[in-house]
A and B are shown apart, each in its own frame.
Chain A
């Protein structure tokens, strides 16, 4: 990995974020997370009057529905933000007309994407913290915090999300569309990855789709760092699964992206 390119990418992206794009977008994302939490809160407190299904506690590993849903929506916010920006990067360069100059520069793909990911992670962390503070008002409580599990879970999740963004980026640059592909993926993640309800409620086939998206397992890990309910052996087992899935995504994503760039550059004017 080329550190110079990495630093330059972070610097460049930060400038772009600061100067060209307004704060609206950030506010928009926090609002999205707020709505999800708010919807869950309404359902829990007003619609069903705190009456949970009997199997919820077993499946979720905690009987605190609000904390369960809030942690889910925070992770969802994280996925949406990182995937959105990392995978949209190249197609945005194409639209802004800078893709050609980027390709002419001594540009290293890995450093470029990792740089984007790092910047995005830092920015999203800020947003997640704000969203978490909102979450506390809606009843977010941490029952059994475990630091090493938390750090491991976050690092593994970032790796998995990075892989996912690369694949989404490939789809975007191939279809030259960001709107439909990103929103379809996000809607699907919301459904199959157990964001606000345990994925065991879903039919088998949807559960299988959920299993190949690293978000599901990352979420299980992060939740267990907050609420417990998962043995260390099981934690390590799921952690390895996320790592393998992430590796598969990253190592198919990067070469595929390289191939697709060529196609894009060829038909750029078409």
Chain B
């Protein structure tokens, strides 16, 4: 291609790309800069006359705030357990379903239902239909099995387990569908060769399937981590972060600080920490992925 055509193409490409890019910069970069700036301010919507520059006060406060450390810990537990559960369950189910000859299409349709549901509705459905102490199905089952009745969302440890279960329920189908698609795309002749070599099922899984699935698993882990780190609506609907602060991950804490307790400046500091955690995780995952 000649230079003139190339130059024309570049200008054309910019003309097509710039509107979207400018809008993205305006709608994401500017608010984030404003968020970091806000985290250095004292903004108390219940006492607006007290506002002003606060320097690092908000961040110093974070260090001595047990509720913040609790929510940071919960974020790590919530993200870690939900991602591991989704990958392990999704992979096991995909391996099992590969053996099912008929009815895969029905399973795929069933798997799509949780994914398309709004997380807030998933949280409400679980709260009312499954976990409610007097008329929820889970309580009915545990009573029927003679295990007794539990206040699934009212007891701190059970509540944390419950919100982890809700998230896992909603997003395991995602891991399942992606891994099922990658399993189906693996070349069958390599298994043939392994079978001739008398490799047993476990050896075939460990030495053939797992290494070949690794790219897909890495993708699932990355995507699931990002979703878990921005989880909000399902927990908000099921427990609101409670009881007390038992399910208050960083998202919920930043929200409650800013919009329930109205100290927006301090809430912004918590959100800034969350942003840093997310960026750090993303950076780690990306560099890990590039190395492999």
Q: Is A bound to B?
A: no
Which of A's residues lie within 8 Å of B, judged by CB? none
Which of B's residues lie within 8 Å of A, judged by CB? none
